[in-house]
Structure 1
Amino acid sequence: MSYSKCSIRKMLPKNYLRKHVAHDINVATANFKTLVPRMDKFVYNDGTSKDLMSLSGTLPVKFNDMTYNIPVCLWLEDSYPQTPPLCYVRPTQEMMIIRGNYTSSNGEVELPYLEEWKSGECNLVSLLQVMQVVFGECPPVCMQPHSEPEHASCK
């Protein structure tokens, strides 16, 4: 589903740069159709929470010639685009996070692209493309190991 700039702008509180943020989200959802914008509550590490715009869904990633859908959530603070999105891998119940060079144990995505974020040069589409490349080299999730059901022994 694609979202119009107007419908996205209506979701955004007035403290956001609504025109710019709506444009970036519109372009991102046009390029990555599995991502959905919505206002939601984000909880910071210190326990405080805030309503933020998020883009969540799956990001198609090629790994070993197969395409996998990595569940992600990008949070845009009201300081976006001056500050980068807060990016997380959000595994399903069947998945577990693989801590690596670009993913912490809580699923936070840590990329040089985010650390070197420059307003006006960086955007959501290029961030998502960088995530696809990096996750294709080093996937941030894997399937949970299945434990074998215990069989009743015969006596």
Structure 2
Amino acid sequence: MTQANRDGMALLARHGLRVTRPRLEVLRAFDHHDRLTGEDVYRLLARDASGISMATIYRVLAELAGAHILDRYVLGRGASVFARHRGGHSVHLACCRCGLVEACDDEHASAALAMLAASRGFVIAEAGVVVKGVCIACAASPDEDVAS
């Protein structure tokens, strides 16, 4: 058994999820990739001849996001991108055309979140913000409307 499998098993157990081969395989796909779509995971696992169906991959991604093991970023046109949950505050910019998701977790974003919360007497435990728009590359070719 590999260290990655042991780590995956421990992670699932900490979040109260039963250890299954599909869950371990999907987690393994994120070992070398920051963000993946369901289709990306399917292609990676198909390359390894895992035999896991697309439906199972989407079910597992939803379970892992529900358990806060993965974060789900919903883009325009129903597309979603998943990333390992890091905790704390996160701000991401998501292109509604090409699906690019870029983290912008810097002190300015954290300060803006803290000011917003403080102005309403709220204490943030954890925050995840997705700002949808169009990336610079897509903006250079204005053929499509921005998806909502």
Report the TM range for the smaller structure's normalisation.
under 0.3
Structure-1-length-normalised TM-score: 0.26
Structure-2-length-normalised TM-score: 0.27
Higher strand share: 1
